[in-house]
Structure 1
Amino acid sequence: MKKYDLIVIGGGAGGLTAAAGGANFGAKVALIDKASFGGDCLWTGCVPTKSLIQSAKIVQTAKKASHLFDLEVRGVPNFKAARDRLNESIATIQKHDDDQRFIDMGIDVYHGSATFKNENEIKINGETTIKGKRIVIATGSRPMIPPIDGIKETGYLTNETALQLDKQPESLLVVGGGPIGLEFAQSFTRFGTKVTVVEMGATILGKEDSDLVPYVIDSLKSEGVQFITGAKVVKTALTSAVKEVTIEQNDQQFVLKFDEILLASGRVPNSDKLELENTDIKTNRGYITVNKKLQTSVPHIYAIGDVNGYYPFTHKAGYEGKLVVSNAVFGLKRNADYTNLPWVTYTDPELFHLGLTEEEARKSGKKIKVYKTPLDDVDRFVSDHETKGLIKIIADEKGVILGAHAVGPGAGDFMQEVVFAKQFGHKIGSISNVIHPYPTHVGGVQRTADLYWREKLASSSIMNVLKNYVKWFR
């Protein structure tokens, strides 16, 4: 039986980071995945969906150009071409995660299903057994299939299968108004599909700042997406190749017909096939319970990424992969800290989120200041004729950044300066003092930070002293 300092189960962002980090520091590492490395992000998540979003944006830009500049655009967008483009993206990026790269690092690579024989031994495909001093579980998650009557018989799409369609459906029901559902809804709409989104909550994107969500809703509605909120799908049936969907809203039921149904109402952790019953590892609804050091209830076993239930983002898994190397390989006791974890919803306009929303900040009991800049006050957005959006920074009385949010074209990029400032303790006023090129989109961030000094000086007694000094100096 082969013995290792570190066994990593799962070849996604977190697992690959942990395995590579351990090997780089001299640990003997085994890396196990049932398929090719890269995880959900590469094969069915971040990479292909962003490629699809970009293809849909090109189509939308062509339509927009035809109206603005008297161009003639004919024909129907070829969805298969978009599928081929995203597959090209996957193939290119996958080269960075192929087996040989990790073999060259000295890592032993195994492909197959991993199960726990006991708390130190892992079986691969029920045959090979290896032993690890430390073990990292990084098995990710998969789409949740809600308990809708008839859904299996009717058939459905998920983010995994929707990406490999040869042709876009004429009509599509998206079940779930979160980031995944909305990104697909807008993309398919731009390719000509008639899309309806059903969301159980009172509004879509319920975890986002309420000032910004309306911009996303208005944009999607203007492109033809229809929303049914405060509602749920209770039943589906297949009739003459059309899918009849029974929707319940306000205690009333009605039936709509669609060509396809896309389920985007959540994720479930991939922990059910690990045979955790052979260990003392505790779970909650399938998510592996971990402490702040990412240890499970069995101290030498760690869980990172989607499988531990904290924030289902690739960049969060990568962060945890680095942290677990410190703790599992070096024996340090570093805590995971998600205070400065940003995320982006890649609709058009993009929606950026960092830290507390205004609602959360007010509930915290802290005295806060809120600084807002609409994009029509930012020269670069004006010159681009892309003025629908908002930048919002929330700070305490001393200017410490508590949260930052933005909605607009490229918000996920132009707000990165605020991520740096918040993480390293720079106050909002520091951003104002940075020299930014003109005109750029990030100028909107500086303009928002300028509001801090404007307010501070206007409300300060020192202003009267300065005014008197200026009068004397003149």
Structure 2
Amino acid sequence: MTETFDAIIVGAGQAGPSLAGRLTGSGMKVALVERHLFGGTCVNTGCMPTKALVASAYAAHLARRGEDFGVMLDGPVRVDMQRIRQRAATVSGTARGNVEAWLRGMDKLTVIEGHARFTDSRTLRIGERTITAPRIFLNVGGRALVPELPGIDSVNYLTNSTILELDRLPEHLVVIGGSYIGLEFAQMYRRFGAQVTVVERGPRLIAREDEDISEAVRGILEDEGIAIRTGADCIHLARHPKGVAVGVDCAAGAPEIIASDLLLAVGRTPNTDDLGLEAAGIAVDERGYIQVDDYLATNVTGVWAMGDCNGKGAFTHTAYNDFEIIAANLLEGGDRRVSARIPGYALYIDPPLGRVGMSEAQARKTGRKLLVGTRPMTRVGRAVEKSETKGFMKIVVDAETQKILGAAILGTSGDEAIHGILDMMNADAPYPALQWAVPIHPTVSELLPTVLGDLKPAAG
């Protein structure tokens, strides 16, 4: 017998539970299907556990710097990896339990545990259970991409998910992938006390960022003793008595690195390959991401895709915004669009990188006349007071419209201070509106008007 609902949500990640609350609150009878862990990537293997680990790593780092602040500690700083892992697991587990309790207590919502697969465009099967609805919302997330490297099947490796189970300190952690996830884990494990090497196929780290950002990030990591190997064109793996032999073809450095542990951090892939999308006629792109329009609707009427699986964003906040767009359009008669979203994100090394809008390189490609303002963190009072002066601030402005096109803040509190720029861009306000603000001292944000007051034409 087929059970009928007003709406079905597949996946209890960032967007799914909130949408369930809005739909049931509007009087709909809703089913939510989750095959694994409530809360999705952010709660279980992403933001919450990793930022808990970052916090532990920062505590270890600050303790080692105690004498810089006149705080004397007896003996070397030690870390207890089992307690560190348990703390992160507790943070994650508490959040997961809260999400599940909220859903199970939601009026008009039926929670179904199991693996959902389409049998047609309106029907899903979960084990022996069959459900149907005129509205189906996919929030199935993604997972770590395992690249087809030579020798990959012969060695043990970690991903961003499985490394969370590690309760010991690696002797030498080699991270393949010099972008956001890889760099966060690289720095945290270096601060826990491991030897760490980052191997990146491209010519520089975090290639989507401007070169000055990439070089500054590299310098920050190398100053902490992390080895960086870029230009690794031919990565290959083999078993070794000490763990894994990582072969690299770099312009400089030894051709082989011996790792006790190997972390793969080369990207993500969507969880769309086993949903039976072909039975529903739902189109995906060459990487498996569900194709959606500006309103997050798929090519099949009555089916939407939210979060990591639609390729429109790879962050918790973009997934939540997907929910907001769908809810506003479906329930409030709105006209919210993905294309109106201004991209913002952060890299959570220490100091963090806060980013919004275009990079300087992206802005240059538009052909606009640009104004660019920069300031080193060595000239930011708050950074000096904290003895955390690495990094710099940069703001890019359209010279003719006076609108801010993008910004980067690599420095202490950069992930928070960037919101001043993000808010101005969302308000579509010209930069003088922020230039003449009177911010609080001493903060990092107080330097935003200063940077704007020192804008100069971008060098050719």
Q: TM-score range by the shorter chain?
A: over 0.9
Q: Is the 8 A contact 1:148 1:234 kept in 2?
A: yes
Does residue 1:155 correspond to 2:163, yes or no?
Answer: no
1:462 is matched with none
2:225 is matched with 224
Match of 2:419 among 400, 416, 420: 416
Distance 1:213 1:96 in 2: 38
Deviations 1:393-419 (Å, cap 9, x if unpaired)? 111123211111110011001121111
Aligned residues: 453
- Structure 1 pair 369/62, CA: closer, same or farther in 2 (3 Å)? same
1:28 is matched with 29
Provide the secondary structure at the position in 1 that maps to 2:429.
Answer: coil
1:269 is matched with 270
Match of 1:384 among 386, 392, 405: 386
Deviations 1:234-274 (Å, cap 9, x if unpaired)? 33222324211222235999222110100000111100110
Distance 2:219 2:251 in 1: 23
Provide the secondary structure at the position in 2 that maps to 1:418.
Answer: helix
Distance 1:76 1:313 in 2: 33
Q: Is the 8 A contact 2:395 2:407 kept in 1?
A: yes
2:366 is matched with 364
Match of 1:443 among 435, 443, 446: 446
1:140 is matched with 141
Greater Cα offset, 19-28 or 67-76? 67-76
Distance 1:264 1:60 in 2: 23
1:467 is matched with none
Q: Is the 8 A contact 1:9 1:31 kept in 2?
A: yes
2:73 is matched with 71
Q: Is the 8 A contact 1:294 1:304 kept in 2?
A: yes
Deviation at 1:341, TM superposition (A): 2.1
Q: Is the 8 A contact 1:212 1:406 kept in 2?
A: no
Distance 2:382 2:217 in 1: 20
- Structure 1 pair 144/106, CA: closer, same or farther in 2 (3 Å)? same
Task: Name the larger-Rg structure.
Answer: 1
The 5 A counterparts of 1:198-347 are 198-232=199-233, 234-249=235-250, 254-284=255-285, 285-329=287-331, 333-337=335-339, 339-347=341-349
Deviation at 1:276, TM superposition (A): 1.1
Does residue 1:406 correspond to 2:409, yes or no?
Answer: yes
Greater Cα offset, 324-333 or 153-162? 324-333
Provide the secondary structure at the position in 2 that maps to 1:248.
Answer: coil
1:464 is matched with none
Q: Is the 8 A contact 1:352 1:411 kept in 2?
A: yes
Q: Is the 8 A contact 1:208 1:353 kept in 2?
A: no
Distance 2:115 2:5 in 1: 18
Q: Is the 8 A contact 2:103 2:111 kept in 1?
A: no
Provide the secondary structure at the position in 2 that maps to 1:249.
Answer: coil
Greater Cα offset, 178-187 or 239-248? 239-248
Greater Cα offset, 260-269 or 369-378? 369-378
Q: Which runs of 5+ in 2 are unaligned?
A: none
Paired amino acid for 1:244: A
Provide the secondary structure at the position in 1 that maps to 2:105.
Answer: helix
Match of 1:110 among 109, 112, 118: 112
Distance 2:181 2:156 in 1: 19
Q: Is the 8 A contact 2:140 2:309 kept in 1?
A: yes
Greater Cα offset, 72-81 or 130-139? 72-81
Greater Cα offset, 255-264 or 385-394? 385-394
Deviations 1:353-381 (Å, cap 9, x if unpaired)? 11111111111011111111222222222
Q: Is the 8 A contact 2:202 2:233 kept in 1?
A: no
Distance 2:331 2:123 in 1: 18
Deviation at 1:80, TM superposition (A): 1.3
- Structure 1 pair 364/130, CA: closer, same or farther in 2 (3 Å)? same
1:461 is matched with none
Distance 2:231 2:271 in 1: 29
Does residue 1:3 correspond to 2:18, yes or no?
Answer: no
Paired amino acid for 2:82: K
Q: Is the 8 A contact 1:174 1:196 kept in 2?
A: yes
Does residue 1:430 correspond to 2:433, yes or no?
Answer: yes
Provide the secondary structure at the position in 1 that maps to 2:339.
Answer: coil
Greater Cα offset, 183-192 or 277-286? 277-286
Distance 1:165 1:278 in 2: 39
Q: Is the 8 A contact 2:37 2:44 kept in 1?
A: no
Q: Is the 8 A contact 1:103 1:109 kept in 2?
A: no
Paired amino acid for 1:271: T
Provide the secondary structure at the position in 1 that maps to 2:382.
Answer: helix
Greater Cα offset, 209-218 or 387-396? 209-218
Paired amino acid for 2:86: D
Distance 1:438 1:329 in 2: 43
